[in-house]
Amino acid sequence: MSVLSLDGITKSYGGNAILKGVSLEAEVGEFIALVGPSGCGKSTLLRIVAGLDHGDTGEIVIGGRSVVRKAAADRNVAMVFQSYALYPHLTAGENIAVPLAMRRLTAAQRLPFVGNVLPGQKQIRTDIQRQVKEMALALKIDHLLDRKPGQMSGGQRQRVALARAMVRRPAVFLMDEPLSNLDANLRVHARGEIVDLHRRAGVPTLYVTHDQSEALSMADRVAVMIGGNLLQLANPKEIYDNPSHVEVARFLGQPKINVVETRTDAAGIVRFGDLVLMANRGQAPDAPVKLAVRPEFVRFSPQGAGRLSARVERMEFLGSEVIVHARLDAIGEVMTSKSAPAEAASLAIGQPVDVEIMPERAMLFDHEGARLPAEPLAVAATREKIHG
Amino acid sequence: MITNALSVARIVRLAVLSLGALLFLAPYIFMVSTAGKAQSEIFSSSLSLIPEQWSYIENFSKALSRVSMTTLLFNGVVVCALIFVIQIVVAIPCAYAMAKLKFRAARAMMVLVMLGLLVPIHATALPIYVAFDKLSVLNSYAALVAPFSISVFAIFLFLQFFRAMPDDLIHAARLDGMSEAGIVARVIVPNAWPAITAFAIFSVVAHWNDLFWPLIVVTNQDYATPPLGLLFFRAAEAGDDYGALMAATLIITLPLVSAFLLAQKRFVEGITMTGLKG
pLDDT in tens, A18-40: 999 999 999 889 999 999 998 88
- Per-residue pLDDT tens digits for B205-230: 899 999 999 999 999 888 999 999 88
Which of A113-122, A275-284, B209-218, B246-255 is predicted most confidently? Answer: B209-218
Same domain, A262 and A324: yes
Cα end-to-end span (Å), chain A: 58
CB contact under 8 A, A103 and B177: yes
Same domain, A60 and A170: yes
Per-residue b/e over A151-171, b at no fewer than 16 CB within 10 Å?
ebeebbbbbbbbbbbbbbebb
Residue A375, class by beta-carbon neighbours within 10 Å (0-12 exposed, 13-18 middle, 19+ buried)?
Answer: middle
Predicted confidence at residue A1, as pLDDT, reads 59
pLDDT at B69 exceeding the cut of 70 = yes
Number of domains forming the structure of chain A: 2
Residue A48's domain spans which residues?
2-245
B10: closest CA of chain A, how far (Å): 34
Side chain identity, residue A231: L
- Per-residue pLDDT tens digits for A333-346: 899 999 999 888 88
Residues B181, A119: Cα–Cα separation, whole Å: 25
Same domain, A266 and A205: no
What is the arithmetic mean of pLDDT over B142-156? 93
Looking at A245, A264, A282, which one is the last position of a domain?
Answer: A245
Dihedral, CA of residue A128, residue A52, residue A207 and residue A23, to nearest 10: 130
Same domain, A42 and A184: yes
Same domain, A274 and A230: no
Query: What global pTM score does this model have?
Result: 0.80
- Per-residue pLDDT tens digits for A179-218: 988 888 888 888 998 999 899 888 999 999 999 999 999 9
Residue A223, class by beta-carbon neighbours within 10 Å (0-12 exposed, 13-18 middle, 19+ buried)?
Answer: buried
Residues B68, B264: Cα–Cα separation, whole Å: 30
Helix (H, G, I), strand (E, B) or coil at A70: coil
pLDDT at A173 exceeding the cut of 80 = yes
Predicted confidence at residue A323, as pLDDT, reads 94
Residues A333, A313: Cα–Cα separation, whole Å: 11
- Per-residue pLDDT tens digits for A299-324: 998 876 778 889 999 999 999 999 99
Dihedral, CA of residue A234, residue A236, residue A241 and residue A246, to nearest 10: 60
CB contact under 8 A, A99 and B190: no
Same domain, A292 and A191: no
pLDDT at A58 exceeding the cut of 60 = yes
Q: A81 CB near a chain B CB, below 8 Å? A: yes
Q: A52 CB near a chain B CB, below 8 Å? A: yes
Check which CATH number belongs to the domain holding A352 and give it: 2.40.50.140
- Per-residue pLDDT tens digits for B80-130: 999 999 999 999 999 999 999 988 888 899 999 999 999 888 899 999 999
Residue B261, class by beta-carbon neighbours within 10 Å (0-12 exposed, 13-18 middle, 19+ buried)?
Answer: exposed
A215: closest CA of chain B, how far (Å): 23
Residue B102: list chain A partners with CB under 8 A.
none
Instruction: Categorize the per-residue pLDDT at A221 as very low, low, confident or very high, splitting at 50, 70 and 90.
Output: very high
Host H or E run for residue A158? helix A154-166
Same domain, A124 and A43: yes
Q: Where in chain B is the domain with CATH 1.10.3720.10?
A: 67-277
Note whether A4 and A26 are within 8 A (CB): yes
Rounded to whole angstroms, what are the CA distances from A73 to A76, A84, B171? 7, 18, 10
Rounded to whole angstroms, what are the CA distances from A158 to A96, A385, B184? 12, 62, 25
pLDDT at A113 exceeding the cut of 80 = no
What is the arithmetic mean of pLDDT over A244-265? 92
- Beta pairing partners, A353: A310
Helix (H, G, I), strand (E, B) or coil at A224: strand
What is the arithmetic mean of pLDDT over B42-46? 75
Same domain, A297 and A240: no
Looking at A218, A245, A272, which one is the last position of a domain?
Answer: A245
Which of the two residues, A163 and A109, has the higher pLDDT score?
A163
CATH of B67-277, one of 1.10.3720.10, 3.40.50.300, 3.30.1330.10, 1.10.10.10: 1.10.3720.10
User: Which ipTM score applies to this complex?
Assistant: 0.82
DSSP label at residue B47 = -
Looking at A202, A228, A245, which one is the last position of a domain?
Answer: A245
Dihedral, CA of residue B196, residue B202, residue B208 and residue B211, to nearest 10: -150
Same domain, A77 and A212: yes
Cis peptide before B227 (omega within 30 of 0): no
Residue A98: list chain B partners with CB under 8 A.
176
Same domain, A67 and A193: yes
Note whether A141 and A156 are within 8 A (CB): yes
Residues A115, A125: Cα–Cα separation, whole Å: 11
B56: closest CA of chain A, how far (Å): 47
Residue B195: list chain A partners with CB under 8 A.
none
Same domain, A343 and A235: no
Instruction: Categorize the per-residue pLDDT at B237 as very low, low, confident or very high, splitting at 50, 70 and 90.
Output: low
pLDDT at A141 exceeding the cut of 60 = yes
Q: B177 CB near a chain A CB, below 8 Å? A: yes
Check which CATH number belongs to the domain holding A168 and give it: 3.40.50.300
Residues B8, A1: Cα–Cα separation, whole Å: 79
- Per-residue pLDDT tens digits for B18-33: 999 999 999 999 888 8
pLDDT at B277 exceeding the cut of 50 = no
Residue B174: list chain A partners with CB under 8 A.
51-52, 71-73
- Proportion of chain B above pLDDT 70, given as a percent: 92
Predicted confidence at residue B273, as pLDDT, reads 60
Predicted confidence at residue B272, as pLDDT, reads 67
Same domain, A237 and A335: no
Residue B259, class by beta-carbon neighbours within 10 Å (0-12 exposed, 13-18 middle, 19+ buried)?
Answer: middle
Note whether A166 and A200 are within 8 A (CB): no
Residue B190: list chain A partners with CB under 8 A.
87, 89
A contact test, residue of B161, B170, B175 with most A CBs within 10 A: B175
Nearest to B187 among A82, A83, A87 (CB): A87
Residues B246, B59: Cα–Cα separation, whole Å: 8
CB contact under 8 A, B171 and A79: yes
